[in-house]
Structure 1
Amino acid sequence: MAYSTEKLSEEKVFKDPVHRYIHVRDRVIWDLVGTKEFQRLRRIKQLGTTFLTFHGAEHSRFNHSLGVYEIVRRIIDDVFAGRPEWNDEDRLLTLCAALLHDLGHGPFSHSFEKVFDFDHEDFTRAIILGDTEVNKVLSKAGKDFPEKVAEVIAKTSEKKLVVSLISSQIDADRMDYLQRDAYFTGVSYGQFDMERILRVMRPREDQVVIKKSGMHAVEDYIMSRYQMYWQVYFHPVSRSAEVLLSKILHRAKDLFERNYTFKNKPVHFYSFFNNQAKLEDYLKLDEAVILYYFQIWQEEEDAILSDLCRRFVNRNLFKYAEFDPAKEYKKLAQLTKLFIQADLDPEYYLVVDSSSDLPYDFYRPGEEGERLPIHLLMKNGELRELSRESEIVDAISGKRRTDHKLYYPADFLFDDTENKEIKQQIRALLEI
């Protein structure tokens, strides 16, 4: 089914530090950008607490969403256009899904989701299909258009090629955030030759494939992703800030459940504390609101909540030690006992945090999880899975790396005005 293809009277352009320019000619895209639900993404940081480690990382989900849209626009307008495998009737569907793929992200994204046990993708779908400005804009393109866009983002659409452009092991989402995050954090790890990759992309019925001549550019892309995860996304200092953020929200929720009287009522959190959050509640909660509460909770009478908030606001983060939970569980039990004796609640002040990443994988029959591999298009027209041709990719395929850290408040442990002997025992166990 063809959808509305109304164009603007003249092209609109966003200046962008990564892609130079982001071009908009479609009326639907321009109207979507102007909706209040999409503008809300300006108030959601792309990298959550990473700004406390890399001070330039202040960019937003709004920036990133436009970037993903632009990469997809270039692929389908400049590379796929005219090729028999590409159905140009899917153009608007693909552009809208690219633009809106992160629409449901909440404040501080994944940390916030874990505390309140929900998935941002559910809210993305709710925004697209609910009584929202986004839904009204999409519905102008076609009655069933919002549902079709939601299906692509949820990866349930029958249009597998469209899905793979936005969500696969080599998609526009990853290509934008690697470059954008590298730019704003000031690191070089996320840089790769995107221009080359775009030139060698080819459409197939179920997914995007890469010409064999572009294999080395794809190797570089995968290694860039690997480095970004361990040097930026899983940076131990950023994880310390995430630990504090998570513990603040857990403490506030626990106090609410115990009928604690807050000096300033956390009205924006009530529905979340009660596990009854509706879409309208979710859309009102952004990072400015969260940081406002962290600011005023510094003055709360509850010593743990006020201390954790002061730490986050003033960047007095927890320190960390290397930790192997499989081998050091007895040490953790000892530390837990000592923390209690030192009047430090281990629930909030002794935290194990784990990070894990799988840089590239391919589907193995009989194993759980669908992994759509990257396929190379050979000169004879045959498709070959990437790791069968690349020794570099083969070396890391299917190899999950996991890192564990133990976080604790070093300043408390070096304050010997109270529980001096116990704190000395703790420091000895932590080897600090």
Structure 2
Amino acid sequence: MTEKLQHEKVLRDPIHNFIHVQDQLVLDLINTPEFQRLRRVHQLGIASSVFHGAEHSRFGHCVGAYELARRVTDHFEKYYRSQEAGDGLWNPEERMLTIVSALLHDLGHGAFSHTFEHLFNTDHEAMTRNIIMGDTEINRVLSAYSPEFPNKVASVIAKTYSNPQVVQLISSQLDVDRMDYLLRDAYYTGTKYGEFDIDRILQMMRPSKNGITFDIRGMHAVEEYIVSRYQMYLQVYFHPVSRGMEVILEHLLRRVQELQIQAQRNDWNETDFVGPLLAPLFTGEELTVHDYLRIDDHVFMAYINMWQDHPDPILSDLSQRFLNRRPLKSIQINPQTDQYLDQLENLVRDAGFDPEYYTARNDAVDLPYDDYNPLAKKPRTQIDFVLEDGSHRELSELSALVAAIKGRASVDQRFFFPKEMLKTGPDELFAQLHRDFRSYIKNDTLTPPDK
């Protein structure tokens, strides 16, 4: 049993009002260097370039997810405490594992969050497990509580822990992670799409033999949550300007990789412009947990600031575009117009821009809800409801609204290019390139030119 704090610690939070820290173990974990690093990793990467209030961090999200897990487990222990083995009710001994797993679930996120993963082929969940199991302060705190506790927490993150109730509270189609980030992201972006009745949902949660279910009386609150998530992806997470900034970031970091490779291949003297902190990322060395934990948003921003003055014109230009918020412009594409992208890339090249670094074909995809399919590559835990007669029904069987979007992926395909391609100028050749390029664009959509 973990030591209870003599006096509860309270963190002020704009989403949940208070984060209640009642256990010494939780406080010790929050105070580790590995967890404090999350203050320096933005929750939404570079979305603040569009939504200027979106400066919130992974730290705030993780303590928010912890608070929701604490509320759920306290509710379960009060009203659904297990009476005998196999009754499908809540075992209070799972409380600490659940709240700690919620607290640490995003521990392994890299700088700029998901952009980092795309470029350097990392997996934040795998890195979270490595941090938990590695030579870290986090591991020492967990091991002091119980020698097998780090492995238990890692198994919850990996979704292999034996109790599905614990796993689904942390990772499912309606979990403490998603509930917190939707509310938190909506608040900090100044949008209303992500708002839903979280108090009603938490009140309607029920433990069961197969995991987590919901009382039928909470169906409309859960339905609202699904629609809110759907809207947040379309209006916030898929925002084309934010993605245009992400493309610039990805391309400038790829340019750094290419320059580093060229320098090593040609034995140039200038091989250290990435510095000791970023060197393992760009030189192909094995990235240790220690190396990974030293990298955050602030480190990258300092180097990008320095790269503005690099002699390579592409790296210098992309760094300036990123720091000064000059995103690539984009147009929507579809399977019918995809065939014209090569022509557009050629026009960009003729205008003096290297298409490898100044164009991109980018797909944003999300599946807002789906029921359980054991044959799927990543089967989803469906949202089940308990009816008054004790029977169970899946959400889309009860909600026509959710049934309409079930299994239907939201897809936004875009072609990114320099905004200069839309501007006219005194140069006659560029003016002609501008006219040729514009002939493919109507209402920000890629359209075949009139024949």
| TM bin (shorter chain) | over 0.9
Gaps of 5+ in 1: none
Take 2:220 and 2:174, find their aligned partners in 1: how far apart are those partners?
A: 14
What is the CA deviation profile of residues 6-48 of structure 1, one whole-angstrom value per residue up to 9, with x for unaligned ones? Answer: 1111111001100000101111000000000000000000000
Query: Aligned-pair distance for 1:122?
Result: 1.4
Take 2:240 and 2:422, find their aligned partners in 1: how far apart are those partners?
A: 20
Partner secondary structure for residue 360 of structure 1: coil
Matched residue, 1:76: 73
Matched residue, 1:376: 385
Matched to 2:423, the amino acid is F
Check 1:130–1:289 CA distance in 2 against 1; reply closer, same or farther (3 A cut). same
User: Among 346, 351, 368, which residue is 1:359 paired with?
Assistant: 368
Structure 1 stretch 171-180 or stretch 254-263: which is displaced more? 254-263
Structure 1 stretch 195-204 or stretch 260-269: which is displaced more? 260-269
Matched residue, 2:308: 298
Partner secondary structure for residue 258 of structure 1: helix
- Compute the TM-score of the two structures, normalised by the length of structure 2: 0.92
Give the 5 Å matches for 1:313-392: 313-324=323-334, 326-392=335-401
Assess if the C-alpha contact under 8 Å between 1:72 and 1:165 holds in 2: yes
Give the 5 Å matches for 1:120-269: 120-259=124-263, 261=270, 264-269=273-278
User: Among 307, 311, 322, which residue is 2:317 paired with?
Assistant: 307
Matched residue, 1:407: 416
Matched to 1:169, the amino acid is Q
Aligned residues: 428
What is the CA deviation profile of residues 87-146 of structure 1, one whole-angstrom value per residue up to 9, with x for unaligned ones? Answer: 011111011100000000000111111111111111101110111110011011110100
Partner secondary structure for residue 67 of structure 2: helix
User: Among 35, 39, 64, which residue is 1:38 paired with?
Assistant: 35
Assess if the C-alpha contact under 8 Å between 1:211 and 1:378 holds in 2: yes
Partner secondary structure for residue 244 of structure 1: helix
- Compute the TM-score of the two structures, normalised by the length of structure 1: 0.96
What is the CA deviation profile of residues 389-423 of structure 1, one whole-angstrom value per residue up to 9, with x for unaligned ones? Answer: 11111111111121111111112552646642334
Assess if the C-alpha contact under 8 Å between 1:79 and 1:199 holds in 2: no
What is the CA deviation profile of residues 279-321 of structure 1, one whole-angstrom value per residue up to 9, with x for unaligned ones? Answer: 1111111000100111110101111111111011000111111
Take 2:395 and 2:149, find their aligned partners in 1: how far apart are those partners?
A: 35
Matched to 1:74, the amino acid is R
Take 1:34 and 1:179, find their aligned partners in 2: how far apart are those partners?
A: 25
Partner secondary structure for residue 439 of structure 2: helix
1:422 aligns with 2:430: no
Take 2:352 and 2:272, find their aligned partners in 1: how far apart are those partners?
A: 25
What is the CA deviation profile of residues 157-189 of structure 1, one whole-angstrom value per residue up to 9, with x for unaligned ones? Answer: 111110000101111111101111111111111
Check 1:27–1:270 CA distance in 2 against 1; reply closer, same or farther (3 A cut). same
Partner secondary structure for residue 308 of structure 2: helix
Take 2:421 and 2:316, find their aligned partners in 1: how far apart are those partners?
A: 15
Matched to 1:26, the amino acid is D
Matched to 1:35, the amino acid is T
Matched to 1:427, the amino acid is R
Assess if the C-alpha contact under 8 Å between 2:260 and 2:283 holds in 1: no
What is the CA deviation profile of residues 230-272 of structure 1, one whole-angstrom value per residue up to 9, with x for unaligned ones? Answer: 1111111111111111111111111111116368443322111
Take 1:323 and 1:82, find their aligned partners in 2: how far apart are those partners?
A: 52
Matched residue, 1:58: 55
Check 1:277–1:291 CA distance in 2 against 1; reply closer, same or farther (3 A cut). same
Assess if the C-alpha contact under 8 Å between 1:80 and 1:202 holds in 2: no
Take 1:111 and 1:55, find their aligned partners in 2: how far apart are those partners?
A: 19
Partner secondary structure for residue 437 of structure 2: helix
Matched residue, 1:6: 3
Assess if the C-alpha contact under 8 Å between 2:40 and 2:57 holds in 1: yes
Assess if the C-alpha contact under 8 Å between 2:163 and 2:211 holds in 1: no
Identity of aligned residues (%): 47
Assess if the C-alpha contact under 8 Å between 1:263 and 1:300 holds in 2: no
Matched to 1:311, the amino acid is R
User: Among 399, 403, 426, which residue is 1:394 paired with?
Assistant: 403
Gaps of 5+ in 2: 83-88, 445-451
Take 1:92 and 1:365, find their aligned partners in 2: how far apart are those partners?
A: 30
Take 2:33 and 2:56, find their aligned partners in 1: how far apart are those partners?
A: 18
RMSD: 1.6
Query: Aligned-pair distance for 1:361?
Result: 0.3
Take 1:80 and 1:101, find their aligned partners in 2: how far apart are those partners?
A: 22
Matched residue, 2:86: none
Take 1:39 and 1:227, find their aligned partners in 2: how far apart are those partners?
A: 31
Assess if the C-alpha contact under 8 Å between 2:256 and 2:315 holds in 1: yes
Assess if the C-alpha contact under 8 Å between 1:69 and 1:95 holds in 2: yes
Take 1:417 and 1:36, find their aligned partners in 2: how far apart are those partners?
A: 56
Take 2:350 and 2:283, find their aligned partners in 1: how far apart are those partners?
A: 33
Assess if the C-alpha contact under 8 Å between 1:28 and 1:137 holds in 2: yes
